[in-house]
Amino acid sequence: MTRFDAATPGDRRKLFVDAITAHRQRGSPFLTVEAETDPDELAPWVQVSEDTINMDCTDAELDRLKEVLSEFPAFTIDELTRPDEAEGTNVRVVGRGDANRVAQFVDRAFAEAFELTEEYRAWVVEV
């Protein structure tokens, strides 16, 4: 991979496909993507590890994520963890699909569950 960020829908999906493909080819433990936000905010993140997609969500974000999942029948919530010391929920989604389908889901999760603008910038921070 030679580029690590993108800010338009088409470029983000290409970036995500390239990152997922690199992750799978390398057999790395996981791939992490973060969305750029204001410096005072926690950046939303998504991790991909084989067929598992992991993220932290507030209750409202989780509700919106469930709406996104309704359009991806091969993707289901596998586990919800609500640590006492943290606000929100860690969500583990099992998502079987090619790199393009996983990339579509990740982009939709960022845009819709985390309510980011159409032009949000995503960074692949670990492959």
Q: In the 3-class helix/strand/coil scheme, how is the chain assigned residue by residue?
A: CCCCEECCHHHHHHHHHHHHHHHHHHCCCCEEEEECCCCCCCCCEEEEECCEEEEEECHHHHHHHHHHHCCCCCEEEEEEECCCCCCCEEEEEEECCCHHHHHHHHHHHHHHHCCCCCCCCEEEEEC
Per-residue pLDDT averaged across 72-87, rounded? 92
pLDDT of residue 2: 57
pLDDT of residue 56: 96
Q: Which fold has domain 5-36+43-126?
A: Alpha-Beta Plaits (3.30.70)
pLDDT of residue 85: 81
| Confidence check: pLDDT of 112 > 90 | yes
Q: Where are the domains of the chain?
A: 5-36+43-126
Please state, rounded to an integer, the average pLDDT across all residues of the chain. 93
pTM: 0.92
